[in-house]
Amino acid sequence: MSGLFALVLAAAASAAPNAWTVSGASTAVLGSNAVLVYRPAAPIAGKLAPDVLACGTTDFAVVKAAARPDGSWAWTVLPMNMGALDFTARWTLDGRALTAPTVRLNVTAPKVAKDADIADIKAPRSAPLPWWPWLVAAALAAAAYAAWRARKNRAIDAPAVAVAPPVPPEAAAENALAELEASGLWERGEHAAFYLRLTDILRVYLEARYGEAATAMTSAEVARLVKAREPDLRASATAREVLSRADLVKFARIKPSATEGPDDVGLVRALIHATTPTDAARVPAAATAAEAAQ
């Protein structure tokens, strides 16, 4: 097989004294996964975990990093630009950073038929409308009605009616991802429909989270929105990665690998977790709501 490389790379001395043998193709194709295999020269003692979000750049997105039975690690990366691009694999070892030296891949454009046209998967008028905003609106309406009934009952010394809280954006998105995974779209080969649902879930979540019309934005505008709202640039890189790969499948009709769709569900789930406020940040809002109800 042509275009292969095998390098012996020394790990950071502050993290571990091991050396790595890295193998894989020295060339890659824009928008197609490439696999790099990192093999330690000796067993590594301690808890080793890949830092996937720390490895994402404007040139590469990490689709998956998985340990193999023989002790090696397989990193699946997605090139986002063309040319001679550098990728650096990163782990944490017992909480300390472990960085492998840089690997360079020559990324080329995908081969497309000369007369091929980029076409949408269906007419715009037949695209399904996002349905999660209606669910959130229904939950808010139900909560408002319950609050009104509770106040009315207290006025006549009747038992108060419990007010159901609105569905948080992250909970609604998690439910939608679970339904998508159970839908069978990916298993039936309906990849374009799968990515249409997945990107709708991501856009609806971001719209509810930030209060801006993410469902009406382009993929690049959504990535810029996340970059403007999140101090960690890895969040915007993840959004850009998923939306770019979805566009290639939906519009350029590029056939994805067998694991890309499920892997992208995991990336969207990780992005939701990364952009969800902590419980500590929610306490003031919850206290304000309780005071208003009284």
Count the alpha carbons within 13 Å of 107 in the hemisphere toward its beta carbon: 20
pLDDT one-digit tens code per residue, 99-123: 888 889 999 988 766 555 554 454 5
Sign of CA dihedral 121, 78, 256, 232: negative
Token code pair at residue 192:
């374009």
CB 121 within 8 Å of CB 143? no
Residue 84 identity (one-letter amino acid): A
Q: Tens digit of pLDDT for each residue in 249-267?
A: 888 888 888 888 899 999 9
Average pLDDT over residues 85-109: 88
Of 143-147, 273-277, 286-290, the range with the lowest mean pLDDT is 286-290
Q: Where are the alpha helices (DSSP H) in the chain?
A: 52-55, 132-155, 169-182, 191-210, 219-229, 233-250, 260-275, 279-293
Q: Please give the domain boundaries of the chain with CATH numbers for all domains.
A: 4-108 (2.60.40.10), 124-293 (no CATH)
244: tokens are 């770019």
Q: Across residues 231-248, what is the average pLDDT?
A: 88
Q: Where are the alpha helices (DSSP H) in 66-190?
A: 132-155, 169-182
Residue 137: pLDDT band by 50, 70, 90 thresholds? confident
Copy the structure tokens of residue 252.
Answer: 């350029």
Q: Residue 200: pLDDT above 90?
A: yes
Tell me the pLDDT tens digit for each residue of 3-32.
555 544 433 333 344 577 888 888 998 888
Give every CB contact of residue 57 below 8 A, 6+ residues apart in sequence: 87, 237
CA 97 to chain centre: 22
Of 41 and 186, the structure prediction assigns the larger pLDDT to: 186
- The per-residue pLDDT of the chain, averaged, comes to 79
At 127, list the tokens.
């695209």
pTM above 0.85, yes or no: no
- Token code pair at residue 112: 């497309």
Give me the pLDDT at residue 283, please. 35
pLDDT for residue 155: 59
Of 57-61, 115-119, 164-168, the range with the lowest mean pLDDT is: 115-119
The stretches of 76-218 forming alpha helices (DSSP H) are 132-155, 169-182, 191-210
Could you tell me the pLDDT band of residue 162, with boundaries at 50, 70 and 90? low
Among 108-117, 153-162, 204-213, top mean pLDDT goes to 204-213
Backbone angles phi, psi at 85, to 5 degrees: -115, 145
| Model pLDDT, residue 15 | 37
Residue 266: predicted pLDDT: 92
